[in-house]
Chains A and B, each alone.
Chain A
Amino acid sequence: MLALLVASFAVSAISPYIYRLLKARFVWFGAAFPLTLLAAFVLRYPQVASGVPVRERWSWAPSLGLDLSFMLDGLSLTFALLVTLIGAAVFLYASVYLRHYEEADRFFGFIGMFMTSMLGVVLADNMLLLFLFWELTSISSFLLIGFNHHEASSRSSALKALLVTGAGGLALLAGMLLLGSVTGSFEISSFYAMNELITSHPHYPAIVALILVGAFTKSAQFPFHFWLPDAMAAPSPVSAYLHSATMVKAGIYLIARFNHEIGGTALWQDSILFTGATTMILAGLLSYRQSDLKRLLAYSTLSVLGTLVMLLGIGSKLAIKAFFIYLIAHSLYKATLFLVAGTLDHEAGTRDVGKLGGLFRAMPVTAVTAVLASFSMMGVIPLIGFIGKETLYKAVLEVHPWGRVLIVLAVAASAFLVVVTLLVGFRPFLGKPRPELAEAHEAPLAMLAGPFILALSGLLLGLFPDFFVGHLLEASSVSILSERLGIEIELWHGFNLVLLLSFVTLLAGVALYFFRPLVLPRIEQLHFPALLKPSVWYEEALAGMLRFAAGLTSFLQNGYLRRYLAVIILSALVPASLMLFRSWRAGGFAVTLPADVSVTAYEAALALIIALATAMLLKSDSRLKAIVSMGVLGFGVGIIYIIYGAPDVALTTFAIETLNVILFVLVLARLPKFTSRSRPSGRLRDGLIAASAGIFMTLTVLQVTSVGRASGLKEFFGRESLPGGHGRNVVNVILVDFRALDTLGEITVLAIAALGVFALLKLRTGKTE
């Protein structure tokens, strides 16, 4: 599976070039890529269905608990199949849909990365690895949502999605690390038997909270739902993918994945049950007033995501079955409908439902596809959506004691879904052909094939559910619930309460649809306080962060070098002096000068020169004088190094001092006339800072020498330099051999600093030109 993912990433990386090479013929390549992956997963179906997960493990960074370990069980396979099947439709569709986009080539790189990352999420067995892929889906969706980066709204939507899911990702990482510390392992499969250990641990509530925040942000559950409708700024194929098989389903996957391991407690079940139910009904209500095709679909996705989370929260056998069927059904019809919305937008030029109508004659295939998918979404027999809804109602009815409330919510939410389908799947095609849409015509074959096949599979799955998904359901339920369901999936359950509820849902939906023109103006008049909207909170938090950053920057970087220096010195000095003070209090050291202090004449002279140079520097009334005294000062320090046997350091010091003087001379000519700009109070302050830094350094040196800590390092380097590093110059051997990695880091920093200098100077010349 590692090979599969690596190959997939590689193909994604080169697909922009292939696109430029093939142009119109890219359609074939675009479809072949995900279909190959799909075939690879289909081949593994028999083994997974027999109940034996496919495993793979490569060592990566074992000391961190990070290994490239993968597991393909029922749950993973279900997602992998959806990701690649819908991926194939989306790729095929996009290679025609995006033909007129300027940067279409990049798109295929991004979406390939998106698909591969999602596959990585569902295949990874190591939590940290899963997290890596998880973040990759966030990053690639950021690139995709912001694909039309010329538009500010596009960019801010992309940023919103990235910040919300990214913040959730950090919470998730914290939760995973906690979970890892509790279980002593990062392999998800190894948690399987640890439910009791995890749920009884004192960190359990924190783990649940952190992991759920991660999952809820990703799957856009209330109150993090607001980023998803805005993500509609992405091109339609992306929306189709994002909503049906990737990204938002990652959170659902995560909850299902951990359901057995950390679930079963009231905390886990109730949290997801109530969050899911809230999202379900809230999104249903919000969808009612939308008029944009894609936003309508977006809110209905939110509602379904809520339903899925709620079903996991119910957690009974029947609920898991409903979860599973509903998941597949939703993926199929939602991808189809988004692609249909894209086609309408593409061919008719608008996505406003008020402006669409009577397109059946012009676009018959699209219309049939849309209606087929809509029936599945409404839950009409004999499509898979019908089975999904029946099972959902049955599972909700079983819940004690909240069943009655939840069933009302579920029926209401489903009725809103019916309204959405009537608006998206029927209304654009029915009625008389409109004159303003006379130009609309059927889409090319490549844009029709994908959605049609997806809609058709919804029908096939509905007619023969046991044949297509029965085994997968069994294998998945082992992953989610740890036991086999042993329930057959059937299309027809007979005349009962659930069937009656299905009729009620449809009737209510149709009624809501016809009342919509009456109700909408009244909704428009309602004003909700801004405090109730999570998106307002987001905006405020973002703006506040920027204000804080601006304030901090103008305080720390006010443009005066002396402020920078003071900040740097003080922020190092204050904590370090505290440490020194504590060590003194604890009797760590006594400032005692060595008994046999002997100062030679050279040393005394040198000290005098340095002191004189410093005094001259402070008193100097011209820059040239200051530079000369700086030079004297530097060379004096260099000579100290020679006397005390550090020729290497001395050599470097001399070279640096020489270059320093040259640099100063260079800038000297362009500086304004030398004036004494500092006030006495400022000088006093600077003097105090300088003096305390000096005193601190002296004390530190005295402490280090008085303690005489037994460090084996000095002896080790001295001993091993020649035999181990083949060099007699210990300093150099340390730099380039023993601690070469440190040096590599340092020179990298230097290189980045050089780039910074380059950028700053370029900026200035740019201004003058």
Chain B
Amino acid sequence: MAKDLGIAVLCSLVRPEEKMIFDAFRARDVDFQRIDDREVILDLHQMSLPYRIVLERCINHSRALHTLKYYNDREVRTINSYDTANICGDKLLTSLALSKAGIPIPRNLVAYTPESALLAIEQLGYPVVLKPAVGSWGRLLAKINDRDAAEAILEHKKTLGSYHHSTYYIQEFIDSGNQDIRAFVVGGELIGAIYRKADHWITNTARGGKASKVELNTDLKNICEAAARAVLGDIVAIDVFETPQGYLVNEVNYTMEFRNSIAVTGVDIPGKIVDYVIECAG
């Protein structure tokens, strides 16, 4: 009979990652309850829940964020925590956490009006990257090469964007040859990393970036594990630029995707995730 450790997995759609996680629990003969966020009703008057630990695998950031807060307030340990989801779900909060911890990051400026954003862009110097603070999979990123483009995009954002586009997160463009590193940290330990190489400056594998193995080294281990600590992350994926001056942490992802990284790294990423959850539940 499978062991019941009070583990639940919060998700909705079952992508390859969730399927591999389910299979890893089954291979270890450990029961888990599946919570479909599309069916969840959060009763704010119910203070006791039948789970000890919840692995969050939502595809919707907003559902993850609110559900994790609900669970954490009811003393349910979640992986990751609400605090981590909150920080990692917002690029500005992530950069603030990383810079506070002294972790090297690209130069970033934040402004709240098109006028101050234009000044900030010119202060950084072209090209720059304009990102929505909340967003994923490389959506609505803009590489701005000159003042004409800057003025046009800022006007479009002001006119067409929703309210969260009125915070202008401006980052220096790191010319890394359309390549960056995606590093996986589980339980505080760097377990593997890939290069993502693309024909485009946006390198997400979700957008066609190709993966190859990174040989781990002490500098990469130190910066990635420090970045995970800075966002209080249990299981996170760190996006890193490799520059002549050293590594720079770009973003931290809290519901990491890894389907393209298992064969490349040779690391059983879902197995490591599940072993960590079981260890935390034990």
Q: Are chains A and B native binding partners rather than an unrelated pairing?
A: no
